[in-house]
Structure 1
Amino acid sequence: MKFRWFIVFMLFLACVISYLDRAALSVAAPLIAKDFNLDPAHLGIVFSAFFVGYSLFCFIGGYAADRFGARRVLIVAIAFWSIFCSLTAVASGLISLLIIRVVFGAGEGPLATCTNKIVSGWFDRREQTTAVGFANSGLQLGAALAGPVIGLMAVKWGWRVPFVVIGIVGMLWVLMWSIFSSDRPEGNRWIRGTMKLPVSDDAASGKIAEVLPRKPLSAYLKSPIILATSLAYFGYAYILYFFLSWFPSYLMMERHLSLASMSIVNVIPWVLGFMGIALGGFTSDLIFRWTGNALKSRKIVIVVGLLVAAACVALAGIANSVGMAVALMSITVFFMNLTLSVYWAIILDTVEPARMGGVGGFMHLLANTAGILAPILTGFLVQWTKVFTSAFFFAGGISLAGALAVAFFVRLPRKSSASVDNLNMETAHALTD
């Protein structure tokens, strides 16, 4: 039984590496901008380039996970992104950096959907959101590590060296994953015959190709619940990518911190974000146990988390000191990350296993268009206004819109409420067994 948590731990490490890779450019951005003579608008375009490939391959990777298995897709994806992370070190200017970032982003696209799908194969519903939360908490830990690790390495050896080191770490993970992982427990040679299957998974055969979906993918993609959840996820992602791309530069450009000081200060919000993700899944499952209503438990966490995040990020834009700005952004990152696992929990609750990859990839694609928009819009707002205040307020407004979308549009269709209530009661009964 413990081996399934080892699988989650491996996914946790993959998430750590993912954000260590991704945040490396943000930490090193002031040095890169100086080397390549990039102004804020150009730097915003570089940040956004990653998400051009990333957003597209969120969906393509999810579809591939349904067709070929999430384990195989992760092996290819993480090997691919590790290679292109290392190639960042050979960039010679704006154009080469843009090309590398687009392809690098494509490699990272499948991770979240594959993580969700693997958890659905190893855990039953009573623990899925908690498992997803633990795995995803590695994202924020990777970002927290990026400040001191990348910053100090860049100061000592130059900004190119950290990208090579992180790429090597990614390839070591691929080797370990290839040896020990599987899509489902009965397909794992290390524990075969020693643990029971998740009771709620339709894929009893363990062979991806034999699990026939009952509904077309398009039926899920048009669902109001999926569309509204995607909009809320977009609100979360806009703050995330505004913060990930620009907060280090904000601390240096507007608050006049040194690279070494910024690298340390930037750790604080990410540590709280790590705690937020880990607690978000647990909190949602706890409310589920209390209410017996899956959808209500998801809505409460998302709406409260995004509302608090919206208020705090806006206030951070008018903070009168570095300490207050960092404190408010830390609260923002904590509350927005309470919601992260819950978007994926809605997929686990409402989508059949054979469609989870495609639906999750679609939701992830829509949400991560924020990764394209947030860095560019922030860059141009800063270029135009010469300060960051408007960018903070705009990010808060997007988060508020996401909270309202879930509050008003994520609800059960009246004609199917009885069947869904039955599903909630069955699940609640399973949780208390």
Structure 2
Amino acid sequence: MKWKFRWVIVGLIFLIGALNYADRAAFSVAAPMISKEFHLDAVQMGLILGSFSIGYALFNFVGGYLADRFGPRKVMAGALAGWSAFVGLTSAGFNFISFYILRLLFGFAEGPIATTSNKMANQWLPARERASAIGLYTSGMLLGGAAAGPIVGLLSLRFGWRTSFVVLTVVGLLLMLLWLKTTTDYPAQHPRVSKEELDEIQQDQGSVQSGNPSDATPNLTLWSIIRRPTILFTAVAFFAYNYNNFFFLTWFPSYLTKARHLSIHDMSFATAIPWLIGAIGLMCGGILSDALYRKTGKLMFSRKVVLAVGLFGAAVCIGVIGSVNTALEAVTLMAVGAFFLYLTAMIYWAIIQDTVPSKYIGSAGGFVHLVSNISGIIAPTVTGILVQRSGNFSSAFFLAGGLAVVGALATVFLIGRRESRA
């Protein structure tokens, strides 16, 4: 089988995603140390953790629009340089306000990554490979989250938590230079893409790329696309997914240290386990969905089955964590829950790829991602309030699981039954 250069592009997006989640998770891993040093209570820490998503959600849409207008290569490079700079500046934080502002700006800079990655995949990959490729490069995010625990934890214990943020900044700037040197917006622009590979990509771009009559109407606008029920309720399901994702990302390390009394060292390694299992689920989700499509010929059905099963499974596991008695039980349930949750992670993007014309992929994906990431503002803040008032995490886990059920029901009953074929 001849080697395909497009998988180099997928590999680079994988590395950027891994660094992206390592950078996000770094603050959560360091949060017990930061909250102790600066005397931050649960509500203040929840607000700091949630401030990231204010900027992030807004720039999901802005980043998608910029990727449509200026190309994903430049937008990704700018985002990578910007968020790496703010990761380093986090080491200069000194009180509640400073950390709040730094995390807000960090979120602004990270906002374009998902929509820009999605735009790049849309332009570089044939339709039959997209879900698998999205699953592969998105799994890098979870592996980055897994690596953040041991790396940040051990660096923090040996050199102080500030050092870990500086190290991540240097890695980010080096990766940005590699991205600019290696990529182009389109495969036709790249000297290392053969004519055979280019023909293979262009001949299987999918109906929304090659002239679906329903998408060719002159009245088609971004507004008409994002008002489609399939797009709106995909955003609802994505919101439920991301609530659980941000709940896990921001508060699970603190849960293990405060409720299960693990040391920083033990917590750093325990938090890596759900990320690793989740990465397996994420890679399996895209492969499973593409396999179902090849087997049945029903594109939307192959997406919805994986989405509904994954969200229901996550709901059961995450919802009951607050009632278990040991750290081992909590980490085990969180790992299984992460497997089911991240089984769905690429499906939201695959639905957008399958149903939205190429011209609007970045903007429509940015809208869906914006809606979903409002949960990133709500989840850390609400969790902090629930923990502060109740003195435990039980209601926070139950709420997260309940929202996953809502997302699963939206998938089954409200995401459009009429398929867009690729």
Q: Give the TM-score normalised by structure 2.
A: 0.95
Cα distance in 1, alignment partners of residues 217 and 34 from structure 2: 49
Distance 1:156 1:234 in 2: 38
Q: Is the 8 Å Cα contact of residues 276 and 338 (structure 1) preserved in structure 2? A: yes
Match of 1:74 in 2: 76
Matching of residue 395 in structure 1 with residue 400 in structure 2:
yes
Q: CA deviation at 1:193?
A: 4.5
Match of 2:357 among 352, 355, 366: 352
1:40 aligns to what?
42
Aligned residues: 411
Q: For residues 43-54 of structure 1, what are the structure 2 equivalents within 5 Å? A: 43-54=45-56
1:313 aligned to 311, 318, 325, which one?
A: 318
Contiguous gaps of at least 5 residues in structure 2: 211-215
Q: Are the counterparts in 2 of residues 84 and 104 from structure 1 also a CA contact under 8 Å?
A: yes
SS in 2 for 1:195: helix
Which among 145, 148, 167 is matched to residue 147 of structure 2? 145
Would you say 1:215 and 2:220 are equivalent positions? yes
Matched, 1:132 2:134: yes
Over residues 298-352 of structure 1, what are the superposed CA-to-partner deviations in whole Å (9 max), with x where a residue is unaligned?
A: 1100100000100110111111211111111101111000001000000011001
Distance apart, 1:160 and its partner CA: 0.5
Say yes or no: does 1:291 pair with 2:332: no
Letter in 2 for 1:145: A
Distance of 1:239 and 1:73 partners within structure 2: 28
Give 1:120's aligned residue. 122
User: Are the counterparts in 1 of residues 128 and 204 from structure 2 also a CA contact under 8 Å?
Assistant: no
| Residue correspondence of structure 1 range 346-385 to structure 2 within 5 A | 346-385=351-390
1:29-428 to 2 correspondence within 5 Å? 29-191=31-193, 193=195, 195-197=197-199, 198=201, 199-201=203-205, 215-412=220-417, 417=418, 420=419, 424=421, 427=422
Assess if the C-alpha contact under 8 Å between 1:213 and 1:354 holds in 2. no
CA distance in 2 between counterparts of 1:86 and 1:355 reads: 34
TM-score, length of structure 1 as denominator length: 0.92
Distance change >3 Å, CA 175–CA 25, structure 1 → 2: same
Letter in 2 for 1:229: T
Q: Distance in 2 between matches of 1:92 and 1:387?
A: 28
Q: Quote the offset at 1:213 in angstroms.
A: 8.5
Question: Residue 28 of structure 1: SS of its match in structure 2?
Answer: helix
Q: Give the drift of 1:215.
A: 1.9
SS at match of 1:42: helix
Q: Which amino acid aligns with 2:313?
A: V
Q: In the TM superposition, what is the alpha-carbon distance from 1:192 to its structure 2 partner? A: 6.1
Which digits, 9 at most, give the CA deviation of each residue in 1:190-215, with x for residues without a partner?
336563242243779xxxxxx99872
The residue type paired with residue 251 of structure 1 is: L
**Structure 1 match to 2:8:** 6
Cα separation, 1, equivalents of 2:315 and 2:288? 20
Give me the whole-angstrom Cα distance separating, in 1, the residues matched to 2:408 and 2:175: 36
Look up the equivalent residue of 1:238 and give its one-letter code. Y
Q: In structure 2, what is the Cα distance between the partners aligned to 1:213 and 1:10?
A: 36
Runs of 4+ in structure 1 deviating by more than 6 angstroms, as ranges, are: 211-214
The amino acid that maps onto 2:178 is M
2: distance between equivalents of 1:124 and 1:369? 31
2:25 to 23, 26, 40: 23
**Residue deviations 1:8-42, cap 9 Å, x none?**
00000000000000000000001100111100000
**Is the partner of 1:340 in helix, strand or coil?**
coil
- Across the aligned residues of Structure 1 and Structure 2, the Cα RMSD in angstroms comes to 1.6
Contact 1:213 1:352 in 2 (8 A): no
Alpha-carbon distance between aligned partners in 2 of 1:213 and 1:382, rounded to the nearest angstrom? 52
Counterpart of 2:213?
A: none
AA paired with 1:69? G
Asked if the contact 1:213/1:355 (under 8 Å) is kept, the reply is no
- Secondary structure of residue in 2 paired with 1:191: coil
2-side partners of 1:116 and 1:236: how far apart?
Answer: 18
Pair 1:142–1:213, CA change in 2 (3 A): farther
Shift of 1:2: 2.1
**CA positional deviation for 1:92:** 1.5
Give, as a single letter, the amino acid of the residue that structure 2 aligns with 1:363.
Answer: V
Q: How big is the shift at 1:183?
A: 1.5
Q: Cα deviations across residues 357-378 of structure 1 (Å, max 9, x unaligned)?
A: 0000000000011110000000
| Residue-by-residue CA offset, 1:48-69 (whole Å, 9 max, x unaligned) | 0111100000000001111110
8 A Cα contact 2:251 2:380, kept in partner:
yes
Q: CA separation in 1, counterparts of 2:220 and 2:331?
A: 47
1:406-429 CA distances to partner (integer Å, 9 max, x unpaired)?
A: 1110123xxxx5xx5xx63xx4xx
What SS does the aligned partner of 2:346 have?
A: helix
Identity of aligned residues (%): 44
Amino acid at match of 1:160: R
2:80–2:173 CA contact under 8 A, matched in 1: yes
